[in-house]
């Protein structure tokens, strides 16, 4: 199976707690603290590893939170390559309010990325990407990153014969101009590119097909929350529904979707089966508390319900 490399220029240390209630000007007593690796690309690599795929997580590290991030990634036995930068890796703080079932997510700024740091990240892609493999650029761009960072990453991947996948809201137009294999946008993100809100499913399906037809993206995916997802390619469009589960947290669901989808495509699944596999992983992650990712057994169980 081709290796799935992930690139995370703005990683995070995820810290999640639960509180009975959240009110202003009150001392809030929290419990059940959990610490997990964070940042889109790192989560994709974690999910790929859990699903039995070969992966490598490339990400920046800085300060005490960066050191802690390396430890929690190592604890999950996810292969990694770190690029030290100045400053401090960001902390992402998540509170689940038990009274109303609401989730509050606070993301701190990331460490400044210098031109030399950006070059080191891109060199890591060039040094490790292989023909036929995947490079996934995921998450936000940190302060200081060039607007065309993802376009440069796509170029670095393509120079080595790898397929570049983008799951971000930053630098998307520049990446499309460079040309990429796959773009994933959720129900809120696609609107910036489309210029307006589109109706699910027909208008969004046509939009995804038109985006592919313009030539900058080989596969266009829109995940539309509880409605499902659509993937358009030169072969046409495939749409599948979401799986109904008891959800606790949405953190990492999109990353899990991307990971499972790519694992499915890498092992030769049809577009429809790979899309179902992605939706199963997303649903399984939504079943977990806080910032935890899925249990692989739940992914397989949910996936099998789509194959009957």
State the catalytic residues: 255
Phi and psi of 40, rounded to 5°? -50, -55
Residue 252 DSSP SS3:
coil
Residue 216 DSSP SS3:
coil
CB-based burial, 75-89: b 16+ in 10 Å, e otherwise: ebebebebbebebbb
- The answer to whether the peptide bond before residue 201 is cis (omega within 30 degrees of 0) is yes
Residue 83 DSSP SS3:
strand
With vertex at residue 238, the alpha carbon angle to CA 237 and CA 243, rounded to the nearest 5 degrees, is 150
Nearest-angstrom CA–CA distance, 253 and 257? 6
Bridge partners (DSSP) of residue 232 are 220, 237
Spatial CA neighbour of 60 closest among 8, 19, 5, 133: 8
Nearest-angstrom CA–CA distance, 206 and 32? 45
Token look-up 């701190």 returns 108
With vertex at residue 115, the alpha carbon angle to CA 114 and CA 116, rounded to the nearest 5 degrees, is 90
| Four-residue CA torsion sign, 181, 184, 189, 194 | positive
DSSP state of 25: T
Residue 10 DSSP SS3:
coil
Strand order in the sheet with 80-84: 80-84, 55-61, 4-8, 134-138, 163-167, 180-186, 217-223, 228-233, 236-241
With vertex at residue 47, the alpha carbon angle to CA 149 and CA 59, rounded to the nearest 5 degrees, is 35
């Amino acid at each position: 199976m081709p290796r799935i490399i992930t690139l995370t220029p703005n990683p995070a240390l995820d810290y999640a707690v639960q509180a009975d209630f959240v009110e202003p000007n009150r001392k809030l007593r929290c419990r059940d603290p959990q610490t997990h690796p964070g940042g889109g690309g790192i989560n994709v690599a974690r999910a790929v590893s859990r699903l039995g795929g070969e992966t490598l997580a490339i990400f920046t590290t800085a300060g005490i939170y960066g050191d802690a991030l390396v430890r929690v990634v190592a604890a999950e036995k996810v292969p990694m390559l770190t690029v030290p930068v100045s400053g401090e890796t960001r902390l992402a703080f998540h509170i689940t309010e038990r009274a109303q079932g609401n989730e509050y997510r606070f993301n701190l700024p990331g460490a400044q990325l210098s031109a030399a740091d950006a070059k080191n990240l891109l060199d890591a892609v060039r040094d490790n990407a292989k023909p036929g493999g995947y490079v996934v650029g995921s998450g936000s761009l940190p302060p200081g990153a060039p607007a065309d960072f993802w376009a440069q990453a796509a170029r670095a991947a393509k120079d080595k014969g790898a397929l570049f996948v983008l799951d971000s809201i930053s630098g998307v137009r520049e990446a499309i101009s460079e040309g990429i294999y796959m773009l994933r946008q959720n129900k809120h993100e696609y609107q910036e590119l489309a210029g307006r809100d589109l109706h699910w499913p027909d208008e969004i399906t046509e939009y995804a097909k038109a985006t592919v037809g313009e030539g900058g993206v080989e596969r266009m995916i829109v995940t539309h929350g509880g409605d499902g997802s659509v993937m358009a390619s030169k072969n046409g469009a495939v749409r599948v529904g979401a799986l109904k589960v008891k959800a606790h947290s949405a953190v990492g669901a999109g990353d899990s979707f991307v990971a499972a989808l790519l694992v499915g495509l890498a092992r030769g699944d049809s577009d429809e089966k790979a899309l179902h596999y992605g939706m199963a992983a997303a649903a399984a992650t939504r079943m977990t508390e806080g910032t935890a990712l899925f249990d692989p057994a739940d992914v397989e169980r949910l996936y099998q319900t789509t194959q009957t």
